[in-house]
Amino acid sequence: MTTSTNPAPATTPVLDANGVIMRFGGLTAVNNVSLQVNAGEIVGLIGPNGAGKTTFFNCLTGLYVPTEGTVSYKDKVLPPRSHLVTQAGIARTFQNIRLFANMTVLENVLVGRHTRTKEGLWSALLRGPGFKKAERESHEAAMELLEFTGLAHKRDHLARNLPYGEQRKLEIARALASQPGLLLLDEPTAGMNPQETQAAQELVFAIRDQGIAVLVIEHDMRFIFNLCDRVAVLVRGEKLVEGTPDVVQADERVVAAYLGTPFEGAPGDEEVAEVRAAEAKAADGATSTTSKPRTEEEGDTE
């Protein structure tokens, strides 16, 4: 799977966000961010907490009306209305899973197909052959997506009763049901264990292989750098760097944004040793044993 990470010579941008600014009163949450996503590309969007990643997502998908700037999908400027954005071909998932909790898994996916079907009230009331055909096709398409995400055996379960990882998958299946050209994933692996994260990565590659461009927000750096063709870093509402994972990983400003810059009078080695010695003296006894396993664990989890 990973072998196919070609840099995508296709230069046709699917998504073109141009100078997006979002202000809430005096606070500028997103400041003049431009971003392009090309067809068949996986682009990552990272940044510390509160950097404005989700706000930017909301601007892209029409949940927020950007104060300035435009968002266009395949050279067409999108109106800031969420259902029109989805209709145009951009689907999304949410950071805090927003499934239709009391609907079944299958129904959730069927709702995702809303924009790709046209049967209105009259057709539903009269139940003509057209209605039945459309329903059958919708069911088939939905089941196909459930097979794709590995949820087919749970089609009749309520969404609320799915385990966490499967809820995430279902959200992706639901988004895919609208047959998007671009999929926006907002922290798809939040709260997942390493195996689940690995599975999510495979899933994103599989989606990309279907010709769907993906823009993903994530805090899991290993996941992002394995996955993405290009990564953009958002800090305090502004785009700091954009480039291949290697470039971004090596950039000092990114490290600084996450960890803070070392200040001038950084403690020297001897001072550190001094503090350690003092601590050891003070904590001579039972307390030191309690702190030990913690450091080990931290070392494990990086």
Partner 1 sequence: MTTQTTTETQAPATPKAPKALSYATLGGAVLSFASTFLAWTWTAEFPGNLTVDGYPGGLQLLTLTGALLTAVLVLGGLGIPGLRWATPGGKYASVRLMALATFATTWFTVIAIAVELGGLVNLEPGAWLAAVATALTVALSFALPREAEPTGTSGWATFAAFFKAPAPAAAKELPSWAEILLIAVAFGIGLLAFTYGIGTEGAEDFLGFLLLIGFGVAALNKSGLSRRLTGLTVKHKNVTVTAAFVSAFAFPFTQTSDAYTSVGTNILIFATVALGLNIVVGLAGLLDLGYVAFLGVGAYTAALVSGSPNSPFDVHVPFWAAVLLGALASLIFGVIIGAPTLRLHGDYLAIVTLGFGEIFRIGMQNLDGTSGPDITNGPNGIPNIPDLEMFGFNFGESHTVLGVELGRFSNYYLLMLLVTIVVVLVFRRSDQSRIGRAWVAIREDETAARAMGINAFRLKLLAFALGATLAGLAGTVQAHVTYTVTPAQYKFVESMPPNSAFLLAAVILGGMGTVSGPLIGAALLYLIPAKLQFMADYQLLLFGIALVLLMRFRPEGLVADRRKQLEFKETGQLDTPKGDIGLSKAGV
Q: Does 158 help bind partner 1 (rule: CB under 8 A)?
A: yes
Task: Count other Cβ atoms within 10 Å, centred on residue 252.
Answer: 9
Are β-strands 13-24 and 68-73 bridged in parallel, bridged antiparallel, or unpaired?
Answer: antiparallel
- Minimum distance of partner 1 from residue 49's CB (angstroms): 14
Q: By CB under 8 A, which span of 70-78, 172-180, 206-214, 239-247 interacts with partner 1?
A: 172-180
Shortest gap between Cβ of 244 and partner 1 (angstroms)?
24
Select from 28-36, 68-76, 97-105, 240-248 the region that touches partner 1 (CB under 8 A): 97-105
Q: Is 156 in the site for partner 1 (CB under 8 A)?
A: yes
Could you list the beta-strand ranges (E) of the chain.
13-24, 27-38, 42-46, 68-73, 76-77, 90-92, 182-186, 213-217, 230-235, 238-243
Residues numbered 114-133 forming contacts with partner 1, rule: CB under 8 A: 114-115, 117, 119-121, 123-125, 127, 131
d(CA 149, CA 162): 14
Determine contact, residues 139/107, Cβ cutoff 8 Å: no
Please tell me the distance from the alpha carbon of residue 132 to that of residue 129, in angstroms, as a whole number: 5
Rounded distance between C-alpha atoms, residue 261 and residue 264, angstroms: 9
Whole-number minimum distance, CB 94 to partner 1, in Å? 7
* Distance in Å, CB of 141 to partner 1, minimum: 13
Among residues 86, 224, 230, 245, the one that binds partner 1 under rule CB under 8 A: 86
For residues 215 and 15, the answer to whether their CB atoms sit within 8 Å is yes
Coil, helix or strand at residue 217:
strand
Contacting partner 1 (CB under 8 A), which of 74, 155, 219, 236? 219
User: What's the min distance (Å) between Cβ of 273 and partner 1?
Assistant: 31
Residues whose CB is less than 8 angstroms from the CB of residue 56 and which lie 6 or more positions away in sequence, other chains included = 17, 20, 22, 30, 33, 35, 45, 234
Residues at the site binding partner 1, with contacts judged by CB under 8 A: 61, 63, 82-83, 86-87, 91-92, 94, 98-104, 107, 110-115, 117, 119-121, 123-125, 127, 131, 134-135, 138, 156-158, 160-165, 167, 174-175, 178, 191-194, 196-197, 219-220, 297, 301
